[in-house]
């Protein structure tokens, strides 16, 4: 059975830098308030009308393809993780295939909707396809554009100050060499807390889940608006806009408490599967949701500052893109080197969480 190895990596972030100070012009907040709670100093936003989730992914993918020394036509499968696709449907995977100029190859494109855990879920999925022998060269992408869907007002500041735009990509290929391969993966979810971190409108629920699982302090319209046939026009309507329901909802404390418990658990789970311990870990690349979460996890696991890579200060939370961006930067900075044992770990909406243990095989 073959293993899978990362042979190419790349990332791309928009040129527009938005600082904490910039946000104070549109909401009541401060640089100190944001830094203290999240560790974020700035983030990147796309240029509206010129960039999309897919175009960010395209730039990151081109870099990963070049880094791997292959051509786009060599790719035989695309796995695209995002919670912010260009269209509600079709998925971003086929759009990326088209933009890469490989639509004529008719390869499959799979979209992953696992939010902050999306890249870990995508990498795990791709790993299994390679181990099965079905594919040999897979493009795995995490890309997000949050700036087009945030509430830039004091009302939405607890969420809006956190997120940024960006993309990262890797080429995963088959190998017989375990010393440069993915060694173990783990994935989990718990839908009990789905509404704690969610983007509920627009949607087809018609208030069903929101009424059944009431969200404290969240103004919800449970009425279902239907036409004469008894079917709905409640997927998206003016009421959702007028009452500010079309923005993300987050209960920060609930997310924090779950994240700091599940991060160490799932890291240790994958290390155990690989027959390794914390002492074998050279670099942890955690999802960049909140610097305080990552610092808490590092302290819990007794990891030194040189064993955990953080870049949330520069980019904010880019959800599915955060791990591949961080891994790409860590490689570029020489902080991830050939032969290193690297752990990727994520926790996010759903709740979903997962981890990957790999031996870095690139110079």
Question: What are the residue numbers of the active site?
Answer: 116, 287, 317
Phi, psi of 148 (to 5 degrees): -85, -5
Q: Encode 228-244: b = buried (16+ Cβ within 10 Å), e = exposed.
A: eeeeeebeeeeebeeee
Is residue 158 within 8 Å of 252, Cβ to Cβ? yes
Is residue 167 within 8 Å of 159, Cβ to Cβ? no
Question: Alpha-carbon distance 74 to 72, whole Å?
Answer: 5
Question: Alpha-carbon distance 57 to 149, whole Å?
Answer: 18
Displacement of CA 63 from its chain's centroid (Å): 19
Q: Which residues contact 212 (CB under 8 A, 6 or more apart)?
A: none
Cα separations in angstroms, 170 against 51, 60, 160 = 21, 8, 28
Give, for 206, the enclosing helix (H) or strand (E).
none
Which sign does the torsion angle of CA 36, 116, 332, 95 carry? Answer: negative
Phi, psi of 308 (to 5 degrees): -130, 125
Q: Which two tokens stand for residue 71?
A: 């051509």
Strand, coil or helix: what is 171? strand
Cα separations in angstroms, 304 against 38, 164, 297 = 20, 27, 11
Is residue 330 within 8 Å of 285, Cβ to Cβ? yes
Question: DSSP string covering 130-161, please?
Answer: HHHTS-SEEEEEEEE--TTS---SGGGHHHHT
Query: What's the angle, vertex CA 49, arms to CA 43 and CA 55, rounded to 5?
Result: 70
């Amino acid at each position: 059975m073959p293993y899978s190895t990362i042979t190419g990596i790349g990332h791309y972030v928009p040129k527009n830098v938005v600082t904490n100070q910039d946000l104070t012009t549109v909401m009541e907040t401060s640089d100190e308030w944001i830094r203290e709670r999240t560790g974020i100093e700035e983030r990147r936003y796309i240029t509206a009308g010129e960039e999309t989730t897919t175009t960010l992914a395209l730039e990151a993918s081109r870099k990963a393809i070049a880094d791997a020394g292959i051509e786009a036509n060599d790719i035989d499968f695309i796995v695209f993780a995002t919670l912010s696709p260009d269209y509600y449907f079709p998925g971003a995977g086929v759009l990326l295939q088209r933009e890469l100029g490989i639509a004529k190859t008719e390869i499959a494109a799979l979209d992953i909707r696992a939010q902050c855990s999306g890249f870990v879920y995508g990498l795990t999925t791709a790993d299994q396809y390679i181990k099965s022998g079905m594919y040999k060269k897979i493009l795995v992408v995490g890309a997000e554009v949050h700036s087009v869907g945030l509430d830039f007002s004091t009302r939405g500041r607890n969420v809006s100050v956190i997120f940024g735009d960006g993309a990262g990509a890797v080429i995963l290929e088959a190998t017989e060499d375990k010393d440069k391969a993915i060694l173990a993966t783990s994935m989990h979810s718990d839908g009990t807390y789905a509404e704690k971190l969610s983007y509920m409108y627009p949607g087809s629920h018609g208030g069903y889940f929101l009424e059944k699982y009431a969200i404290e302090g969240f103004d919800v319209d449970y009425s279902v608006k239907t036409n004469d046939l008894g079917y709905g026009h409640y997927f998206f309507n003016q009421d959702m806009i007028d009452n500010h329901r079309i923005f993300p909802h987050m209960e920060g404390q609930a997310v924090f408490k779950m994240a700091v418990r599940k991060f160490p658990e799932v890291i240790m789970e994958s290390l155990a599967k690989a027959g390794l311990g914390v002492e074998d870990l050279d670099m942890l690349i955690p999802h960049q949701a909140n610097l305080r979460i990552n610092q808490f996890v590092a302290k819990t696991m007794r990891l030194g500052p040189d064993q955990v890579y953080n870049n949330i200060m520069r980019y904010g939370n880019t959800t599915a893109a955060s791990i591949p961006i961080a891994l790409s930067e860590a490689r570029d900075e020489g902080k991830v080197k050939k032969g290193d044992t690297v752990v990727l770990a994520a926790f996010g909406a759903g709740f979903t969480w997962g981890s990957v243990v790999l031996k870095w095989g690139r110079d």
